[in-house]
């Protein structure tokens, strides 16, 4: 039996939409929105009708009748912390997302659009491995202050999909492997995968770990406190320094890995040092994940857009390949990951979990 799936993944200035016939992508567009268009809306959720229209226009232009689809799969929003897996998008989930107490991200809006389309056309709507996937073991939750427990925010969708691809490539179940997966993109998260569960990771959104093209990562705590209370920056400005204007952006004024590599090729030593420092911090995080797994690591997997960078990945390999083989899976792969999740459910290979 063949299945047809609509895949949705909303980004800050784009709406990515794909149609899959089983595992084959038959149509795809990344619909870009100007800042002027988006500035009309006070919050991401206010963009719902605008983004929904873009999705419907895509379907119309490609000649699809949504009522004939078997499933809609949307990238998960900031709901309450849940274990990895496939979930039906429900009213309760949307209530938690709308409260924004678990985070604010444009993927929240995608869940609402998918749910509305599912209701209108009578199609099941699911999500998988949301950004709030939380499978930490108890020791990973301690931070040093009881009022500030460590929380899990990482690239769970791509990390888990990459881990499954590697497991399939060697003919073993994901649930029987110990893996370290590093998602290298605008944000960076390194997860310790123990027998199918991510038992620890750095907070890839605005917390600890390596700095990235636009996020600051772990900072010297005392100096950070002093800066926050210096009167030089507002709360909003400080949040932007942490996520958006931190990392490579703060040092070099760009968040583009390609641009940094071009500067390095032209002999820019500062760009080379900053780029290598990021590789060093990623390597150090991988080493920490190896300790979490007690040194029993089957492979280290590097994924995300920056995994295309030979310079960056060579630096990481140099420092980490003594732990385990390093395997590259470059690219975000989020649309395919969502489609694969939908197919696992439709084919009865994986059951829905209860939110």
Whether 4-132+334-353 shares its CATH topology with 138-324 is answered yes
In tens, the pLDDT along 107-132 reads: 999 999 999 999 999 999 999 999 88
CATH numeric code, 138-324: 3.30.420.40
* pLDDT reported for residue 14: 85
Check residue 304 and give left, alpha or beta (phi > 0: left; psi -120 to 50: alpha). Answer: left
Domain boundaries, the chain: 4-132+334-353, 138-324
Confidence of residue 332 (pLDDT cuts 50, 70, 90): confident
Q: What's the per-residue H, E or C state across the chain?
A: CCCEEEEEEECCCEEEEEEEECCEEEEEEEEECCHHHHCCCCCHHHHHHHHHHHHHHHHHHCCCCHHHCCEEEECCCCCCCECCCEEECCHHHHHHHHHCCCCCCCHHHHHHHHHHHHHHHCCCEEEECCCCECCCCHHHHCCCCCCCCCCCCCCHHHHHHHHHHHHHHCCCCHHHCEEEEEEECCCEEEEEEECCEEEEECCCCCCCCCCCCCECCCCCHHHHHHHHCCCCCCHHHHHHHHECCCCHHHHHCCCCHHHHHHHHHCCCHHHHHHHHHHHHHHHHHHHHHHHHCCCCCCEEEEEEHHHHCHHHHHHHHHHHCCCCCEEEEEECCHHHHHHHHHHHHHCCCCCEECC
β-partners of residue 194 are: 178, 197
C-alpha atoms less than 13 angstroms from C-alpha of 29 in its C-beta half-sphere = 13
Asked if residue 204 has pLDDT above 90, the reply is: no
For 4-132+334-353, CATH number out of 3.40.50.720, 2.60.40.10, 3.40.50.11540, 3.30.420.40 equals 3.30.420.40
- Per-residue pLDDT reduced to its tens digit, 21-53: 999 999 999 988 887 888 888 888 999 999 999
Instruction: Give residue 11's pLDDT.
Output: 84
Average pLDDT over residues 138-159: 94
Q: How confident is the model at residue 205 (pLDDT cuts 50, 70, 90)?
A: confident
For 55, list phi and psi in degrees, rounded to 5: -65, -45
pTM, entire model: 0.89
């Amino acid at each position: 039996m063949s299945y047809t799936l609509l895949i949705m993944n909303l980004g800050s200035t784009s709406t990515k939409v794909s149609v899959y016939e089983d595992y084959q992508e038959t149509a795809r567009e990344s619909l870009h929105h100007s800042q002027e268009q988006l500035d009309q809306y006070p919050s991401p959720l206010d963009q719902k009708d605008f983004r929904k229209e873009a999705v419907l226009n895509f379907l119309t232009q490609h000649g699809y009748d949504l009522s004939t689809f078997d499933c809609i799969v949307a990238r998960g929003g900031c709901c309450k912390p849940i274990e990895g897996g496939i979930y039906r998008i429900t009213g309760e989930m949307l209530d938690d997302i709308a409260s924004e107490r678990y985070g604010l991200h444009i993927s929240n809006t995608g869940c609402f659009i998918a749910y509305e389309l599912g209701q209108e056309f009578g199609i099941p709507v699911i999500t998988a491995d949301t950004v709030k996937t939380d499978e930490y073991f108890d020791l990973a939750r301690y931070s040093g202050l009881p009022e500030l427990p460590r929380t899990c925010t990482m690239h769970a969708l791509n990390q888990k999909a990459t881990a499954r691809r590697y497991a399939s490539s060697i003919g073993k179940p994901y649930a029987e492997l110990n893996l370290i997966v590093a998602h290298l993109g605008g944000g960076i998260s390194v997860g310790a995968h123990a027998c199918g569960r991510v038992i620890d990771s750095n907070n890839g959104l605005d917390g600890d770990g390596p700095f990235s093209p636009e996020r600051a990562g772990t900072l010297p705590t005392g100096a950070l406190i002093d800066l926050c209370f210096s009167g030089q920056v507002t709360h909003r400005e400080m949040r932007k320094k942490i996520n958006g204007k931190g990392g490579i952006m703060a040092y070099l004024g760009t968040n583009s890995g390609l641009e940094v590599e071009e500067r390095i090729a032209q002999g820019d030593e500062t760009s080379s040092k900053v780029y290598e420092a990021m590789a060093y911090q990623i390597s150090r995080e991988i080493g920490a994940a190896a300790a979490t797994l007690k040194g029993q690591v089957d492979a280290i997997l590097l994924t995300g857009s920056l995994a295309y960078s030979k310079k960056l990945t060579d630096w990481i390999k140099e420092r980490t390949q003594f732990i385990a083989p390093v395997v590259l899976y470059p690219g975000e792969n989020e649309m395919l990951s969502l489609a694969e999740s939908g197919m696992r459910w439709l084919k009865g290979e994986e059951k829905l979990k209860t939110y």
